[in-house]
Structure 1
């Protein structure tokens, strides 16, 4: 017969399940909650009691850097020229240079004891000749220590040449586009005020050279300013970024300066001189506004020369307001003669504007042979008419041929002149 089930012991698995159910039940949850609350309370009590002490210990263990400021009054006694001048007072320092110590013992052997004196004397016997240089070397740093303090307040030597004002304030007016040229009182005008000195009594035929379109290449601009004679006139494009640097540098080197004014070419818009180009399709007000933008890019120039402009200079309607404004501002005008039908010189003569006309482009073909032929043409035209103007560009070959050719003019009975010396003025009618 089977034993009743109630009398049998429960298996271990059933006991574990019963214990787990008891722990996950309400009683178990209550116990866990009590344990958590007790633990948090104990941690809080410990922090309240030991927290400040622990923080203080951590601060003490943290490395710190302490900076102290010593006022200049306390730092001035620092130089030690007297201590260096009397090395006998500090015998510990000569340990680095034993040769200095030896002569001092040799000079005064009496105070030292008998056996000690001979021990120090043998090393001193050899270097007495080298001792005076060592002594002088110690004496030299002593006066040299205060020396650096004296030049410190002195301003550093200005190596760069500072240039004077690039313009005459009496010939400048403010505008929304910057400083613009204007005619001054008493007949003072920019084309005369900024002109390169030239003897009006000079009787030899004159040749003027103008390098147009400068400012876009730093190397070419620097070469034109520094390598060409000061009688050569330099024309800068208004789009150049370093005009504030180039213009004063060019004028300090003695060059006359001109503004290269962008004008519409026949091939426009395939050939575009830039966003501020004067166009025949614009009204006079719009073109004058563009011209004032260009005029305001820098100061100190004698006049303007057209950049491109083979179409614009053939339109009297477009050209007249521009040249009238050039005259009112006391400038001169150089007609580059890009188009053989250019009306610029005729319009300038009609309104009594000081002007000059280009005779030859030097580098329409940028080769040595072509440039040399153009320069020979300039000589011939200057000898036949009394003056000639050549316009070139800052190509390396152009500058190289000019450097070789310009020194030969005097032997040929010609004189290099600034462009203002070739100005022609004709009264109206």
Structure 2
């Protein structure tokens, strides 16, 4: 029985307490969690240390510590040496020349292949007169070699003495041997015929343009890009004039020297980038010294060559007159297409080969007829394989000024 006078709870049985125990160590999962929290905290602290607020855009840029620089030894680059000047020509190699590049201390001249011709390399005397334009510039006239006149732009010597015959000539090897030049005239008169000639004729063939042709500047550009040397045809009085009429602006015996010079300049201004002029007909005119001398003097002053295509059958003293006028001069030996027979044309070309075999050089002339173009194209590539070098007309001109 409980004592009623005892304080409240005094007579209640004492409470039982759970025995005291030490805390249990954390489990593996809890330990990993703790380490993760610590790692994140440390990482956040490090990132915070390297955070920089971008003042212009407000973008937070995190900068990590830069790695230690690694020293790399740089090889000293050797200074560039001047490379030999390279020019492109075409032709047949000397038998002693290999087909591999020649390393030479002197100036190097690389011969490029046209269809049917092998690749050759020759060395030209660096003291010789500079011939030709650089690749990629042949279709552009050299402005310093042009003169503005009432007739138009006319070729002239540059202030430093270079002549159009040197600037626009097709380079050649100077290797000697058997050399042949072919001049095909009448370019520009027929658009179809001109395009066909440019498509088919190898670049060694010299092309002569008629002043009455169309689009001559455009055709000049195409022909020069392909590597052809060019001439401008000048209409001259033949026998039986006017029944045989070369066309407008013909140079005539009845005309005054001033008129003939005006007509000459009219023709020369029709195109640029040519090395010289050639006659169109003109047997009577070229046979008269008083008529031809002012023309040769004008050409000599301007630095152009004169090519006698051989159609006149006269003008025996023309070469001597040209030399006195300081004009590079060449004359054709064989008219290859005096008939329209394929066999005759091939026979004439064989005659050119025989002449080159005997004398070392030969010059043929022809017209831009479809048959002529086809046969000359086939012949030229075979002739190169047979040891003949096909050259531009300037290569075979007797030149009172050129250094050889």
Q: Normalised by the size of structure 1, how large is the TM-score?
A: 0.60
Q: Which residue pairs with 1:365 in the alignment?
A: 339
The answer to whether 1:175 aligns with 2:168 is no
Q: Secondary structure at the match of 2:160?
A: helix
Pick aligned residue for 1:185 from 140, 155, 159: 159
2:209 corresponds to which of 227, 233, 236:
236
Query: Do structure 1's residue 312 and structure 2's residue 285 form an aligned pair?
Result: yes
Whole-angstrom CA distance in 1 between matches of 2:264 and 2:234: 7
Match of 1:35 in 2: none
Contact 1:163 1:249 in 2 (8 A): no
Instruction: Measure the CA separation in 2 of the matches of 1:331 and 1:192.
Output: 9
Whole-Å separation in 2 of the counterparts to 1:223 and 1:345 = 33
Q: Secondary structure at the match of 2:363?
A: strand
Bigger relative contact order, structure 1 or 2 (CA pairs below 8 A, ≥6 apart) = 2
| Alpha-carbon displacement from aligned partner over 1:358-393 (angstroms, at most 9, x marks no partner) | 011111112101101110110011111111111110
Asked whether the 8 Å contact 1:205–1:383 carries over to 2, the reply is yes
What is residue 232 of structure 2 aligned with on the other side? Answer: 259
Distance 1:213-1:344 versus aligned 2 partners, 3 A rule: farther
> Normalising by the residue count of structure 2, what TM-score does the alignment of the two structures yield?
0.64
Q: Residues of 1 paired with 2:275 and 2:208: CA distance?
A: 10
How many residue pairs match? The answer is 265
Distance 2:150 2:269 in 1: 9
Q: Does 1:412 align with 2:386?
A: yes
Superposition RMSD in Å: 1.5
User: 1:168, 1:387 → 2: CA distance?
Assistant: 30
Following superposition, the deviation at residue 165 of structure 1 comes to: 5.2
Distance in 1 separating the partners of 2:156 and 2:137: 22
Distance in 1 between residues matched to 2:138 and 2:281, nearest whole Å: 32
Structure of greater Rg: 1
Cα drift, residue 229 of structure 1: 0.9
* 4+ runs deviating over 6 angstroms: none
Contact 1:233–1:418, Cα closer than 8 Å, also in 2: yes
CA contact (8 A) 2:310 2:335 kept: no
| Range moving further from structure 2, 348-357 or 329-338 | 348-357
Does 2:340 correspond to 1:380?
no
Residue number in structure 1 paired with 2:248: 275
Asked if structure 2 preserves the Cα contact closer than 8 Å seen for 1:171 and 1:181, the reply is: yes
Q: How far, CA to CA, are the matches of 1:426 and 1:219 in structure 2?
A: 39
Moved more, 344-353 or 364-373: 344-353
- Separation of aligned partners in 1, 2:380 and 2:221: 24
**What pairs with 1:18-29 in structure 2 (closer than 5 Å)?**
none
Higher helix share: 1
Give the Cα–Cα distance (whole angstroms) in 2 for the partners of residues 331 and 325 of structure 1: 9
